[in-house]
Structure 1
Amino acid sequence: MTTVGSLPNLEVLKLKTYAFSGREWEPNEGEFLQLKFLLLDCIYLEHWRAESIHFPSLQRLVLKGCYDLKEIPCGIGEIPTLQSIELRRCRDSVATSAKQIQKEQLELGNDGLQVQIM
């Protein structure tokens, strides 16, 4: 992922079945600087550790069929450009973390973050 994350003009990343190796993902600071859209589709990721500095330009996060993922990192909610989180076929704990991120943003006066759970 370091090679992909280092691409200077990467704005859209769609990781689908078997595109990701390992049960944990912790991006490095300085990667994914221009990423605006991130899709994780049927990725066997269990622990995702990320802060706002790891995806500073992210606008849209889509998680589909990430059955093993336990939660969305709370640092994702601190990304000032984040506009939406969309969940499909994910654990209840992932939905809970998305709702918590939305709640925290509302408390900070940001009512623009949309969370869709399908």
Structure 2
Amino acid sequence: MSGQHHNARDRIAPIQRRKKIIRAKEMPDETGLAMRSIWEQVSEGTLPAPIQIGPRAVGWLADEIEAWREEKRRERDLRLAGGVLRDDLKDAQALPRRQRGRPRKDDTSIDAFK
């Protein structure tokens, strides 16, 4: 009998997830992005736009965020499999990388100013 109870719960769970609204403060945990990046991606159209849920409150539909996550997984899998997106990854790797840490004072930089 308990097996039937779990099956009924499993059928309801996807319906509840579709109706869930993710508030702005929860979005960094849901996406792994900082709020600034979230809003940038919304304005670029690469992340679903939020819905207005109050005069000063917005939220994202959980099923739209889940679809966004799945799209990101597919993009990753294509890159790893050598698919179409592999060239995009090579282009990103060819870009110059910013040095990490504090700039060091070395003798060559001092000589340039003499």
Greater helix share, 1 or 2?
2
TM interval, shorter chain, is under 0.3
Structure number having the greater strand percentage? 1
For normalisation by structure 1, the TM-score amounts to: 0.22
